[in-house]
Amino acid sequence: MKRVTSSVKEALNTTPDKLIIVVKIGTSSLVNEQFGTLNLSNLSRVCEVVRELHAKGHYVIIVSSGAVGVGCQRLGLAQRPTKLAQKQALAAIGQAHLMRYYEDILCALGMTCSQVLLTLDNLAERSQYINARNTFTELLAYGTIPVVNENVSHAQLESMCTWHLCSTVTFSADSITINVCLLDGCAAYAGHCGGSRAALWRQ
């Protein structure tokens, strides 16, 4: 009987030279609050770091916030709404535009991105959890860069926080089992990957 692998890392046969790295980028890094616009320079720098890691043979996953902020920017709203339905609507608007930017920049850098929308419920329910794990395995095996965001149109919590999603996705021992996690900074990158661009993306 063929043994079923229990993690993405095991399925991909990672080694010290071929790690699974999750890059978490928050809304404050993506949206320029002063001008109410998308911070393309920050987004481009993040994608350049991803390209460098990918070129070294590592598997990279981007966990991205920012959909609500980009939605506000697209509609010219000066303040973020407080009602759940409004935030969900703005996230639906912003997510489409945010993914377009990821697609354009990563494609220009010679990479293919993929989109993964999850909720905490997806990872709490066993069958959905396994499906998500298998999807990540295949996306990484194909050489794509998964861009993960919360599927806020189905979110149940009043405080939709992608950090909760990031924590669940990145630190779940049975799911992805990552090697390095970069949280809006490159300290882990410098320590684990010997990168010369450690200060490139630190806020």
Per residue in 63-74, pLDDT (tens digit) is 888 888 889 888
Burial track 124-148 (b if 16+ CB lie within 10 A, e otherwise): eeeeebeebbeebbebbeeebbbbb
Residue 134 has pLDDT above 50, yes or no: yes
Phi, psi torsion values for 82, nearest 5 degrees: -105, -20
Q: Which amino acid is at 199?
A: A
d(CA 98, CA 67): 7
Q: What is the pLDDT of residue 73?
A: 86
- The SS3 assignment for 173 reads coil
Q: Which of residues 73 and 14 earns the better pLDDT score?
A: 73
Burial of 168 (0-12, 13-18, 19+ CB in 10 A): middle
- For residue 115 the two structure tokens come to 């989109």
Q: How far apart are alpha carbons 18 and 106 in whole angstroms?
A: 20
Task: State the chain's mean pLDDT as an integer.
Answer: 75
The predicted pLDDT at position 151 comes to 75
Using CA atoms, how far residue 94 sits from 49, 74, 142, in Å, is 23, 7, 27
Least confident of 10-24, 89-103, 135-149: 10-24
| % of the chain with per-residue pLDDT over 90 | 25
